[in-house]
Structure 1
């Protein structure tokens, strides 16, 4: 069994709101598990290989510590995916973190690329009077999670369970907790507790305590630990809430302020290393709910804390002001830049409504539209009317027939004939027919710029998720078309526009092929070599391009270089406006490579891997390392692109 040496990081001191931290990396006690086979059945099970040495409180931890580590477990359905559990004692007084490390997860919500895996964090508060678990983990960590948690409990029951929200990667083991400890009190919002009833074992009941926020809901765990709650819906789940332990100054925020970054260091030790991941996570999961982000920050502005115990990624301790200010600044900028607002109506807990609506919103946000979510299970008629007021677009994800009967008529009554409308299935098995929902809107004069979407399989595929995101972008572009064209023209001085238009470039097709058969492409002209070592190029990609979602750090793509005199047909094909989800390569001769499609008529091609992205306003500048390349016609010349003015491509 190999020994891995870890050098401790120095402790950081400080007052709340500054560079505060308790303990250091050297306090981490790691539990790694491996799969062993039962001789009788061959079934895989998890067993603890070794618990590393824990430095007692007060001990000098500056010396190097060695840990004996066994092999990691593997994901049952994908053996190449490594899983691991990390226990962080002494996060604060009576408080332990349990971090489930998903080292090789490369996608989140299908289309969000993960360059550095992710973690699922839960927390344990133990006093003389109570044992409180804040969130659980993904069910794929079941054996390893309990192997780490059981020794910490030392035979004592979990008396309190705080469920920050019911997304499966954080509530996947709630059923286990309720089964093991039927007397446990489960704290969550009203929507959360309603949904949890479907997650526990059939016939199993639990003692649910509805949290609304406010002093009356505070929970005294003993030894000075008092929990305070604030509802924070739509971050990024409709039933989300934040929790504050007043004694330790820890704010438990689940998805908010997190990042998909898997590392052995449980803390935000290297802020510079984390910022890109922090921003990408915000853009994918929080930006669609910018207004809700600002509301949550306002509700918690009086909270005093020096640690943000997030649901994903490193625990934040270095600067609470910095991390919060980023969220405030980005959210305010998103709302200020929005060219309109679309109300997104869905039914929480029904089918795949949450996933599909969030992905649609991501596509809409890329094209400059603010989205506001309306959960039909959590609002009354007056709240529906207020949410629709001022919205220039209405998006409806088909609810169950029972909910549709009582709620959708209110939404229709509150909508004017000048609004744009979009309807899509939620893949719940009892969806109200999309045509029935759409008909009264069309008959009243509403514009339906994007055809309704339907799902033909039992659950959405990667191609469906691609289709829903592209539909969001198309819908938003329809809402902003006139405004965007005028704004671009007015933003540029005529002389500058003509001068800038004299910058000539080549013509290229950027092509990607992602998991699940997803293929997409775009015509590019803003391309240049950027470095010799490593050999790199940059490509400018508009933020509302479909291909942009598949050009995250770590993703591959192919730059197809078009040939002079042979580019017209290819240009015409890829410049067409396609319906959401349509395969851009249908009828096109191409070869698949690890990085994406190589066109049969390309003069040359480069296989590339994205290394970094630079935000330049309405475009991303993608820097990529060139991995492979070939020229198909050594005598050919690159097709060139000349413009008269720079107000168009």
Structure 2
């Protein structure tokens, strides 16, 4: 069932209440997601994006109830990733000659995934598509936000920016608009989305935001491809992105560890106590990696000024769970953050050295060589961890 955004612009997407993992198993979606597709019905009828392939047949059938498919004049593909383009093959079986407007890289993506020679029309920043009644779609390339093929489309007169993956959230809701949902839930999902998907491209995003602002577009609605549509003060999410893109941090220190026989856990808790003693203002959070969600932890890292990582020594190295998480942080290219390390050992004690080297390569400013504790912490070991926490707080 279509829902109206404004005038002759309608949502025709799919709410996926059951989605728990995205990008394979890489991204957790505790609150499901939506695949937002949009239908513009002016003198020309335009479909902007489709939905993920498991819902392709349902999408096409529902769309056919809203409009004679043969009356769709143009299809705009803002991004070729399968969660947006997955229903295209099913749709193009019905209307195979319909023009598709997308970037040159999107042509490569769509051909590479679906192996079809559709009626591709390549667009670049500033190109316009006349859709009648004095309205145009203006295209803005957005490479690496978050794929090389990404773009946005702006509808004149209605002042709607179809932003694709920028400004979205994995958040299933029937409410559709930002002013109708719980604001805490909305921003929790929005910052998680940014931290896990867009952080590596923050330097590109800063330039793109400046470019969009310089176009002096009146924006009444921002319609992303996932989650709610921003109609109430839509620039609030642009302002948030401007903050998040500038090496964001809050007054937070996050401790992340894994443990074998709870010695490293004891160290983590005492380090947290020391931080709190030394700085009453800082927010301290402690997470056992084995009992936490990686993407939720990445969000906490994103918010933190310092990350403290702990692992016992295993086979002269660290636990593979911690190694994988540090690798994930490395991939995301965090900036302007400090790090410290700790861990228990029984025999050789290399974990803090290994962790410090990995965190340094991941772009963190490592405070020192780390705190090691021989065997399980006794009272002196606990006091040493408290003192180490004080040192971290003052660093």
Shorter chain as normaliser: what TM range?
0.5 to 0.7
Q: 2:191 aligns with which of 268, 271, 279?
A: 279
Structure 2 partner of 1:552? 296
1:581 to partner: Cα distance:
8.1
Q: Distance in 2 between matches of 1:146 and 1:313?
A: 20
1:355-504 correspondence runs (5 A): none
Change (3 A) 1:179 1:581: farther
1:133 to partner: Cα distance:
0.6
1:198 to partner: Cα distance:
2.9
1:74-99 per-position Cα deviation (integer Å, ceiling 9, x unaligned): xxxxxxxxxxxxx31x2112111023
Q: 1:151 aligns with which of 65, 84, 89?
A: 65
Structure 2 partner of 1:112? 27
1:18-417 correspondence runs (5 A): 29=1, 87-88=2-3, 90-109=4-23, 110-127=25-42, 129-154=43-68, 156-200=70-114, 204-214=116-126, 217-269=127-179, 270-301=182-213, 302-334=216-248
Taking structure 2 as the reference length, what is the TM-score of the superposition?
0.68
Q: Distance in 2 between matches of 1:100 and 1:265?
A: 13
Structure 2, unpaired ranges of 5+: 250-254, 274-283, 298-310, 326-363, 365-377
- Please say if residues 78 and 102 of structure 2, whose CA atoms lie closer than 8 Å, have aligned partners that are also in contact: yes
Structure 2 partner of 1:559? none
- Please say if residues 192 and 296 of structure 2, whose CA atoms lie closer than 8 Å, have aligned partners that are also in contact: no
1:204-239 per-position Cα deviation (integer Å, ceiling 9, x unaligned): 42221111112xx20001122200011100111111
1:161 aligned counterpart, secondary structure: strand
Q: Does 1:647 align with 2:391?
A: yes
1:184 aligned counterpart, secondary structure: coil
Q: Distance in 2 between matches of 1:511 and 1:152?
A: 56
- Please say if residues 294 and 331 of structure 1, whose CA atoms lie closer than 8 Å, have aligned partners that are also in contact: yes
- Please say if residues 74 and 100 of structure 2, whose CA atoms lie closer than 8 Å, have aligned partners that are also in contact: yes
1:191 aligned counterpart, secondary structure: helix
2:113 aligned counterpart, secondary structure: coil
1:528-586 per-position Cα deviation (integer Å, ceiling 9, x unaligned): 8xxxxxxxxx84259xx898752728xxxxxxxxxxxxxxxx944499435688799xx
2:178 aligned counterpart, secondary structure: coil
Q: Distance in 1 between matches of 2:67 and 2:316?
A: 61
1:528-539 correspondence runs (5 A): 539=285
1:182 to partner: Cα distance:
2.0
1:292 to partner: Cα distance:
1.6
Change (3 A) 1:571 1:219: closer
Change (3 A) 1:229 1:157: same
1:139-179 per-position Cα deviation (integer Å, ceiling 9, x unaligned): 10122212321111135432211111111100111222322
1:94-116 per-position Cα deviation (integer Å, ceiling 9, x unaligned): 11102311112122222322221
Flag the structure with higher strand content: 1
- Please say if residues 163 and 186 of structure 1, whose CA atoms lie closer than 8 Å, have aligned partners that are also in contact: yes
Structure 2 partner of 1:540? 286
Structure 1, unpaired ranges of 5+: 1-28, 30-86, 338-506, 513-520, 529-537, 554-569, 585-617, 619-636
Change (3 A) 1:303 1:576: same
1:185 to partner: Cα distance:
1.0
Structure 2 partner of 1:385? none
Larger radius of gyration: 1
- Please say if residues 53 and 86 of structure 2, whose CA atoms lie closer than 8 Å, have aligned partners that are also in contact: yes
Taking structure 1 as the reference length, what is the TM-score of the superposition?
0.42
Q: 1:577 aligns with which of 299, 318, 321?
A: 318
Q: Which has the higher contact order (CA 8 A, sep 6+)?
A: 2
Q: Distance in 2 between matches of 1:189 and 1:547?
A: 42
- Please say if residues 128 and 137 of structure 2, whose CA atoms lie closer than 8 Å, have aligned partners that are also in contact: yes
RMSD (CA atoms): 3.7
- Please say if residues 140 and 151 of structure 2, whose CA atoms lie closer than 8 Å, have aligned partners that are also in contact: yes
Q: Distance in 2 between matches of 1:508 and 1:281?
A: 20
